[in-house]
Amino acid sequence: MQYRILGKSGLRVSELALGTMTFGSDWGWGADKQNSKEQFDLFLENGGNFIDTANRYTEGTSESFIGEFMEGRRDKVVLATKYSLFTQKGDVNDGGNHRKNLVQSIEKSLNRLKTDFIDLLYLHAWDFTTGEQEVMYALEQLVRQGKVLHLGFSDTPAWVVSRCQTIAELRGWSSIIALQVEYSLLERTVERDLTPMAQHLNMGVVAWAPLAGGALTGKYLADLSAGRLKPESKRLDSRAVGIVTKLVEIAGQKNCSPAQAALAWLRQKSGLVIPLVGARNATQLKESIESFSIVLSEEEITSLNAISEIDYGFPHTFLASDAVKDVLFGGMYSKIKR
């Protein structure tokens, strides 16, 4: 396992993050306690240190398991959790981005995790009812209290993250160092604004669903082809089938699994990206860890980029046109080193 500096911090995290939404069977699926511990131990034994959870994962069981698993080795773990999601349905202030919910949520998370501090706290999803100033000030207070070391945002529009980062910089508050987004060969729309913003503002990108819920393993192709499975989501539509078919072809040539090839594409796509992988058992996790031995050729990456290409829309395609470049640079665009 190699390591990366996360965003503009000095925090060193493994190039793979362990997602623990599968820790616990409270939602009718996932790993029991023994299987969860096997995954946790395997990850740390292979040099992994970046553990990702949230207050709501498996109704709090995920955090409770991790709290037990970390005993005696807390310092070896870079622990990330999230706030925003409700834990008590019907309680109007139990959920959301506001300060009251943040304070309630962090205290409960610290208790379940059996720790005094969180290495990285994410705002889980933007609620569009809480002001950016309130959010950043409330998060800053947790940092000053020593309960949180670093801040991240997840599932939030680029303009909101940019505004929050600007407020923090102007006030001299703690910066956002990580951005968590859905990112895979089947979901590349984050490339329009979110990942360019992260690169410009020096945030590390953590990609959830890097295997698109299992679609990029190729396991649905036969059922889709035979009509036994209906393409009810974009992960299973004709575009997805074309991408996965090409991925399976390349994986066969590389003598690796489609999942390993998909993770290799994501890592090589940009030096910013850290895949966040979840698993039902240690065998699945081991396959993801072993993906780091896979290196795609430039031709293979170009092929996957082409088949998964998205429409970047306005203003991106407009600004990338030769006509606009010509009027902006007076015919000198190709002569300017960038």
DSSP 227: T
Buried b / exposed e over 62-89, threshold 16 CB at 10 Å, is bbbbbbebbeeeeeebbbbbbbbbbbee
Does 57 qualify as catalytic in the annotation? yes
Alpha helices in the chain (DSSP H): 33-45, 61-69, 99-113, 132-144, 158-171, 194-200, 221-225, 238-254, 258-269, 282-289, 298-307, 316-320, 322-329
Residue 220: what residue type?
Y
Phi and psi, residue 208, nearest 5°: -90, 160
Cα-trace Rg, the chain: 21
Return the structure tokens found at 16: 């793979």
The contacts of residue 330 (CB under 8 Å, 6+ apart) are: none
Strand partners, 15: none
Catalytic pick among 3, 57, 83, 333: 57
Two structure tokens written together for 332: 């000198």
| The Cα angle at residue 7 between residues 135 and 51, in degrees rounded to 5 | 80
Asked whether the beta carbons of 79 and 51 are under 8 A apart, the reply is: yes
Q: Which residues are catalytic?
A: 57
